[in-house]
Amino acid sequence: MHCSTRRTLARVPDSIPRADQRAEWIAGEHRATTHPDTHVHYDLPGAAFVVVAPEGGDAR
């Protein structure tokens, strides 16, 4: 179960090359700085990888 309350930090369209790797790289940058719980979701309807930071609670 992924976090229900979260902030979107970045979106990487699935159409670009190695979109998943780019999204993970961006997540790593945020993890190293201000948002240690940053991780990547996949937005199926939007066909995009979404870099998110959970806000409140600890569900992810």
Q: Which is nearer to Zn ion, 9 or 19 (CB)?
A: 9
The HSE-up count of residue 17 (CA atoms within 13 Å, CB side) is: 0
Residue whose CB is less far from Zn ion, 17 or 56: 56
Site for Zn ion in 2-31 (CB under 5 A): 2-3
Judged by CB under 5 A, the stretch of 1-9, 10-18, 21-29, 43-51 that binds Zn ion is 1-9
Q: How far is CA 24 from CA 8, 42, 51, in A?
A: 14, 11, 8
Distance CA(28)–CA(25), nearest Å, equals: 5
Q: Which residues bind Zn ion (CB under 5 A)?
A: 2-3, 60
